[in-house]
Amino acid sequence: MNNLVVTPRRVLAGTALGAVVLLTGCGMLGGGGDEPAGVAAPTVSSSGGSSTDAPPSAAPSNEDSAVASAAPSTEPTAEATTEPPSAPTQGPPEAAAPSPSSDAAPAPVETVAVGTCTAAMLTGRIDTPAGAGGMGSVHRAIVLTNASTAPCTTAGFPGVSAVTAEGNQIGLPADRDNSSLTVLTLAPGDSAAATLKQGSGQNHGADCGTTPVAGLRVYPPGATDYLVLEQHGESCSATSITLMTVGTLQPAQ
């Protein structure tokens, strides 16, 4: 019968604790340490000895990849153009004069603006038809004729007043009647006429201030110059009496 050796539990526990202490002191357990980083622990061979093979090479660093990608490109760049500067631009060639053609359209005729008939363009006279007198007044006509070489226009009432031989105005100018206005274009040689009614100063007695008349001063409508048409007679110098009435210019009969 075999004899069993019974080892007390305390002896086993002490033996195990001693083994742990021994292994820690020999560096066989990894835990703490001052072991340099990056150094691989020796591997245990099948025969129980440690292996002295060189550690595996480290993986390539990302920094090397970044440096490689940032390297300057070696592709050739386009060469600068060396074309000579362009010659200065010349002005457009002069247009050739068109050759005369029988089919060319005639040049347009410029229209000349027709101006107002002035006294310098006109001549005048006073017409007294037969049987024009009656009831203390006389109906006459002032006739104005375009004596210039250009047409002119006139419309409205002429200004009429009696003057002395020295050219001084006598009394009031003629009143205007209710005749309608007509715009007239007088070609050279054409005439226009305005009716003129003249009263007698004798109808007003001593209040008239009777004064001899040498002519009538006539301003064409819209003009600032005047004509003096010869007429002899008498007029009132009183500024309270009007002896004449004039109408608008109409085509002469």
Q: What is the pLDDT of residue 37?
A: 42
If pLDDT is split at 50, 70 and 90, which confidence band does 221 have?
very high
Q: Is 144 exposed, middle or buried (0-12, 13-18, 19+ CB in 10 A)?
A: buried
Q: How far apart are CA 29 and CA 117, in angstroms?
A: 136
Contact 126, 108 (CB under 8 A): no
Give the per-residue pLDDT at 131.
Answer: 76
Region of poorest pLDDT, from 47-61, 113-127, 172-186? 47-61
199 and 96 in contact (C-beta within 8 Å)? no
Report residue 253's pLDDT band, with 50, 70 and 90 as the boundaries: confident
Q: What is the pLDDT of residue 203?
A: 84
Class of the domain covering 115-251: mainly beta
Strand-pair partners of 145: 123, 191
Spatial distance between the Cα atoms of 128 and 23, rounded to a whole number of angstroms: 165
Strand partners, 160: 218
Which position has the token pair 């005047």? Answer: 226
Assess contact for 200 and 93: CB atoms under 8 A. no
Mean pLDDT within 189-195: 97
The span from the CA of 108 to the CA of 110, in Å, is 6
* Each residue's pLDDT tens digit, 13-43: 454 454 444 444 444 444 444 444 443 444 4
Sort 78 into a burial class: Cβ within 10 Å, 0-12 / 13-18 / 19+. exposed
CB-side exposure of 135: number of CA atoms within 13 Å?
2
pLDDT at 163: 97
Task: Read off the pLDDT of each residue in 198-218 and give the average, rounded to a whole number.
Answer: 92
SS3 of 17-67: HHHHHHHHHCCCCCCCCCCCCCCCCCCECCCCCECCCCCCCCCCCHHHHHH
Average pLDDT, the chain: 73
pLDDT digits (tens, 9 = 90+) for 73-106: 444 444 444 444 454 445 454 545 555 555 556 6
Give the residue-averaged pLDDT of 166-178: 96
- Predicted local distance difference test score (pLDDT) of residue 57: 43
Among residues 200, 198, 192, which one has the least CA distance to residue 132? Answer: 198
More confident residue, 202 or 232: 232
Cα-to-chain-centroid distance, residue 33: 91
pLDDT > 70 in the chain, percent: 55
Residue spans of the domains in the chain: they are: 115-251
Share of the chain above pLDDT 90, in %: 48
| C-alpha–C-alpha distance, residues 169 and 162, integer Å | 6
